[in-house]
Chain A
Amino acid sequence: MNKAFLLCGLLAVAQGAIASTDGVDKTVRFMAANCAYCHGPDGRSSSAIPSLAGMHKARFVGSMKAMKAGTQASLVMYQIAAGYSDAEIDAMGDWFAKNK
């Protein structure tokens, strides 16, 4: 990818992709919405699968990274955590901590 194309992308991102005019990070909002089918709407679960809404960021990020590394046991989430980058995990941690 040449530098001009990359710059073009960066400008587009700066103009509204990551932080939209209403201040919502749509990329993270989308990633967080994905979790709802297991963890409940807006990360609020009714039953055995834990809620994510309002979880402290350190707990979310610590658990996700530990499950990804295989140092925290889990039945399902180690496979999901492995598919995300550390930056994505941090961003989702921020989102769920702020959206209670």
Chain B
Amino acid sequence: MTLNRRDFLKFSAGAASAVGLSTLAGCAGTGPAVGGARPKVVVVGAGFGGATCAKYLKLWDPNIEVTLIEANEKFVSCPLSNLVIGGARTIDDLTFSYDGLKKLVDNFVHDTVVGIDATARTLRTASGRNFSYDRLVLSGGVELQYDKIEGYDTEARKTVMHGWKAGPQTVTLRRQLEAMPDGGVFVLATPPTPYRCPPGPYERACLVADYFKQHKPRSKVIVLDASSDIVSKKGLFMAAWKKHYGFGTPDSLIDYRPSSKALKVNAATKTISLEFDDIKGDVINVIPPMRAAKLTELAGARPSEGKQAWCPVDFRSYESKTVPNVHILGDSAESNMPKAGAVANNTGKMCAAALVELLNGRPLVIAPVITNTCFSATSGTTAMHVAMVFRADKDHMMVSQPLPDKGISKVESEAEMKFMDSWGKNIWADTLNLKI
């Protein structure tokens, strides 16, 4: 590393403050394992956050015993899954085995965690197995709050999809669209902020409209937005809607309705009720409000009902600010960064880097810098992006300045769709330890 003296001093000043703070954090939590025992980390959830954390723990300190617990047999990528709903990809394109991770971690367990005792540092699973840990990493994504929408009960959920966790939901939603006759109406109800993948609903509107344009041109997409305006990449989405789908003309394939929060769903009549209006569709897609994963509640790390629904963390290590030795990654963490796959992947690395130091009794000295680059498709062949650099301290993930063009594309392009495709291949390989 070639740093000149001035840069070295500048860098060291930042490191000095990190040392001062993190030594305290290190003392409060678990230090090196005593008696020569290998330190134990249990990671729950092998999505973008947990899988990446487990992988980099083994790469950066093979001495750490890593157990990775995941409920699903296969990994299905949420990023790019709107392309399955639009018909440009299949779910098989986004489905991967965990074999690459199984080779790397000490124990890979297919099970569901049902109880966590953060004081005793143990957890138990649905099949009755018990695990102890020095440090616990929870990467459970989001919990969907069906009970916030009247009528969204288990019966309704058999036919009304959210499609916000990729897998069977994605496939069923695609089949419903294929079965819908030309001239039908697809109604998409977005969740209140914050939610997983801020541009996701608007991307989905694009890709369903793209399908209709090619195969069912008399059909329409109605977007019922819980927010008062498009919450992500607004200018770019509006431009794409106008360019590809006639937005703003009487023949528009997309009918966008802001401040239209879904309050009630009737699965039998395919009707979504707003405060003053009922909207009927041929296929309805209701994305419920979200909060931090249930796992975080089991650990006592999720704020109680009525407060912020996400878990406060120390951004240098992603350790919970309320429950020591429990680290919370990805969507469940309270953060000004978007709830996105790339962010989860990189927070997994931040947590792994911090754990390697803490479990070896060393202070945190890395002042983490990470990026988030996230692509959104605007049609089957075009895409655009958001790209930002963030710098962590204990309480913030600060956007590194300057931020040219506000960190988003100047314009959508076919070249960015090629990047989006490449991004998918590379992030899956990075997260799942796949061979390139």
Which residue numbers of A lie inside 8 Å of B, CB to CB? 1, 5-6, 8-10, 12-13, 16-18, 25-31, 33-41, 44-49, 70, 75-76, 78-80, 82-88, 90-91, 94
Contact = CB atoms under 8 A, between A and B. Distances in A.
B381 interface: no
A48 B56 CA distance: 25
B425 A87 contact: no
B11 interface: yes
Given A40-B436, A45-B422, A82-B404, A12 B365 contact: yes
Contacts of B385: 75-76
A44 B436 contact: yes
B56 A33 contact: yes
Contacts, number: 164
Given A16-B362, A47-B422, A49-B422, 19 more contacts: A9-B13, A9-B19, A13-B12, A17-B19, A17-B366, A34-B346, A37-B342, A38-B426, A39-B426, A46-B426, A48-B419, A48-B422, A70-B404, A76-B387, A76-B416, A79-B404, A83-B401, A84-B400, A91-B3
B363 interface: yes
Nearest to B429: A41
What are the 7 tightest A-B residue pairs by CB atom distance, in nearest-first order? Answer: A9-B16, A83-B389, A83-B400, A17-B365, A47-B422, A87-B7, A48-B422
B373 A80 contact: yes
A25 B419 CA distance: 30
A47 B147 CA distance: 43
A10 B12 CA distance: 6
Given A12-B363, A84-B400, A87-B4, A37 B427 contact: yes
B353 interface: yes
Contact of B415 (A17, A75, A88): A75
A41 B349 CA distance: 12
12 contacts: A1-B16, A5-B20, A9-B20, A13-B16, A30-B353, A38-B426, A46-B426, A75-B415, A78-B404, A87-B7, A91-B2, A94-B2
Interface string B319-341: 00000000000000000000000
Interface residues on B, range: 35 or more
B16 A6 contact: yes
A5 B16 contact: yes
B145 interface: no
A49 B375 CA distance: 13
A92 to B, nearest CB: 9
B345 interface: yes
A91 B403 CA distance: 22
Contacts of B15: 9, 12-13, 17
A43 B160 CA distance: 42
Contacts of A41: 426, 429-430, 433, 436
